[in-house]
Amino acid sequence: MSSTTLTGTLPDTAAQPCSDATTTRTARARGWLATLPGRVGAALLRCLVAGWRYAWTVYAVIRLGLLWPSFCGNTSLAEQRTRSRDGNTKITVHRVPRVKLTEVSQHGWRMRVKVRPGQHLGHYLDAAAALRHLARAQAVKPRELWDHPGFLEISVLRRDPLRRVLERPRELAPGRIVVGATETGAPLVLDFREQPHWLVSGATDSGKSSLIAAGLSALAPTSAVLVSWDLKFGIEAEPFRPRFTDVVTTAAGVATWCQRLLALAGSRAELLKALRVGSVSEAEDVHGIALRRVYVFCDEVAELATKHDDTNPDELLRQVLRLTQLCRAMGIHLIVAGQRFGSDLGKTVTSIRAQLGGRVCLRVNDEETAKMVLSGLDLDVHQRAMTLPHKGMAIVQRRAEWEYARASYQTGPERAAIAARHGDKAISWQQLLDDDATATANHHDTERGQR
């Protein structure tokens, strides 16, 4: 009897996991179908809003085109002639600058203007405020086109896409990440291939932590090695601790990591010379050898310049300077944040600042700090950096050009969830060295096979 009973229960026990899996799939399908109308409705609403905004932009463009001659005459961008005949006065406008529309979006449009002889960018900057009211726009920004002398580009922004940033942090390609949105509604991209090191400056509560968190959120799902130098007790780095290879909270730890990274750069340089390429990007593009990129986030450069019991700040800053100078092509990137980058922190700080080609300036408290970060730009831009209205909003410098941008914002629980979800991507320092050694060995094996 007992044997019969046992035999009879076996099929039910074996079938139970299959039944549970079927039930789970059915529940998921029902949940997906239940939320389908809401998702479709939200998508239709987004399309409707985008179409409505685009239609209003087209209307504003047509209206500006009709009023452009009179606007140019009233702002001295064109020549006005007055004629009186039989007591009637007639005003005509001549030599109106020609305009060509280059881009239209739901946020605004761009137009290219052929300047008249004797005109320059300053004339259009003086007329920008009047054009803003005529176009009923949020902002108007004229700029020179360096590759097209004799032409200017005027960006007209009808709606402020920085009021609420919808871009989510993500990686576009190895070394290129999205961390927010620009004033035109386009993604804010930090391109570490073009600028290997970045400087982030801003006053207290300006949004530096939001920008750094957006960068970490974008890099968390990747194979990159993330290291934090957080000498402010490691508080800012804590939500992302599961994803970090190491969180350094002491100056002595920073010195140790400088030595490690310099040694790594030396070994990678030997591999690049063997491959006859100039950077890890070329090694991947030409030979298919992908070395892990290392991103070092340094939160508060002033702490590196502060005297500690266990380190000499001048020696520590010199090591950081060597990193910025020698690791540009080695896939080792520094993102250095701080409130100030002046010579009051030490002469070496200004040398480090010169090596950080990428510049992001959030709200600052004084014009001198803005000049340190946004070097080579007009004084008007430096003054704008002191009055940025939103937290996380910044001025991003790209060579001689600049644009407004704002970082995506994640709450503390969101940051912790991202780090926990991708905690398995974190590797130890020894694993990184082993991966590089494997890449080198594979290259040598390939060479021997070709011979």
* Tens-place pLDDT, residues 297-313: 998 898 898 887 777 88
Is 95 contained in some domain?
yes
Domain co-membership, 144 together with 178: no
Is 238 contained in some domain?
yes
Structure tokens at 130: 């009047």
Q: Is the pLDDT of residue 14 over 50?
A: no
Q: Which of 88, 123, 157 is the last residue of a domain?
A: 157
Is 19 contained in some domain?
no
Is 7 contained in some domain?
no
**Hey, which residues does 156 pair with through a beta bridge?**
109, 140
pLDDT of residue 351: 92
Domain count, the chain: 2
Is 2 contained in some domain?
no
Listed in sequence order, the residues at least 6 apart from 38 whose beta carbon sits closer than 8 Å to its beta carbon are: none
Structure tokens at 151: 């032409």
CA distance 351 to 321: 7
The CATH code of the domain that includes 148 is 3.30.980
CA distance 391 to 34: 38
User: Closest Cα to residue 246, out of 232, 226, 231?
Assistant: 226
* Tens-place pLDDT, residues 370-403: 999 998 888 888 999 999 988 999 999 987 788 8
CA distance 211 to 181: 11
Q: Chain-centre distance of CA 261, in angstroms? A: 24
Q: Is the pLDDT of residue 247 over 60?
A: yes
Reported residue count of the chain is 451
pLDDT confidence bin for 261, thresholds 50/70/90: very high
Instruction: Give mean pLDDT, residues 318-346.
Output: 92
If one compares 9 and 188, the residue with the highest pLDDT of the two is: 188
User: Closest Cα to residue 334, out of 251, 415, 238, 257?
Assistant: 257
pLDDT of residue 8: 46
CA distance 189 to 176: 7
Highest mean pLDDT among 80-89, 91-100, 182-191, 303-312: 182-191
CA distance 332 to 323: 8
Percent of the chain topping pLDDT 70: 94
Domain co-membership, 346 together with 394: yes
Contact 121, 112 (CB under 8 A): no
pLDDT of residue 380: 85
Q: Which of 157, 190, 221 is the last residue of a domain?
A: 157
Read off the pTM: 0.80
Q: Is the pLDDT of residue 5 over 50?
A: no
Domain co-membership, 228 together with 98: no
**Hey, which residues does 203 pair with through a beta bridge?**
none
Q: Is the pLDDT of residue 80 over 80?
A: no
Domain co-membership, 269 together with 327: yes
If one compares 109 and 442, the residue with the highest pLDDT of the two is: 109
Domain co-membership, 215 together with 190: yes
Domain co-membership, 186 together with 152: no
Q: Is the pLDDT of residue 451 over 60?
A: yes
Domain co-membership, 440 together with 291: yes
Mean pLDDT check: name the lowest of 1-15, 240-254, 285-299, 436-450.
1-15
The CATH code of the domain that includes 415 is 3.40.50.300
Q: Is the pLDDT of residue 242 over 90?
A: yes
pLDDT of residue 103: 83
Domain co-membership, 54 together with 85: yes
Contact 369, 340 (CB under 8 A): yes
Mean pLDDT check: name the lowest of 75-89, 129-143, 210-224.
75-89
pLDDT confidence bin for 433, thresholds 50/70/90: very high
Average pLDDT of the chain to the nearest whole number: 88
* Tens-place pLDDT, residues 35-61: 777 778 888 887 887 888 888 888 999
Domain co-membership, 85 together with 201: no
Is 385 contained in some domain?
yes
Which range marks the domain in which residue 85 is found? 50-157
CA distance 62 to 351: 51
Domain co-membership, 209 together with 102: no
Q: Is the pLDDT of residue 357 over 50?
A: yes
Instruction: Give mean pLDDT, residues 417-444.
Output: 92
Mean pLDDT check: name the lowest of 6-15, 32-41, 410-419.
6-15
Is 24 contained in some domain?
no
pLDDT of residue 51: 85
Q: Is the pLDDT of residue 184 over 50?
A: yes
pLDDT confidence bin for 211, thresholds 50/70/90: very high
* Tens-place pLDDT, residues 151-175: 999 989 887 888 889 899 999 999 9
Domain co-membership, 219 together with 342: yes
Q: Is the pLDDT of residue 7 over 50?
A: no
Domain co-membership, 201 together with 92: no
Is 407 contained in some domain?
yes
pLDDT of residue 346: 80
Q: Is the pLDDT of residue 411 over 50?
A: yes
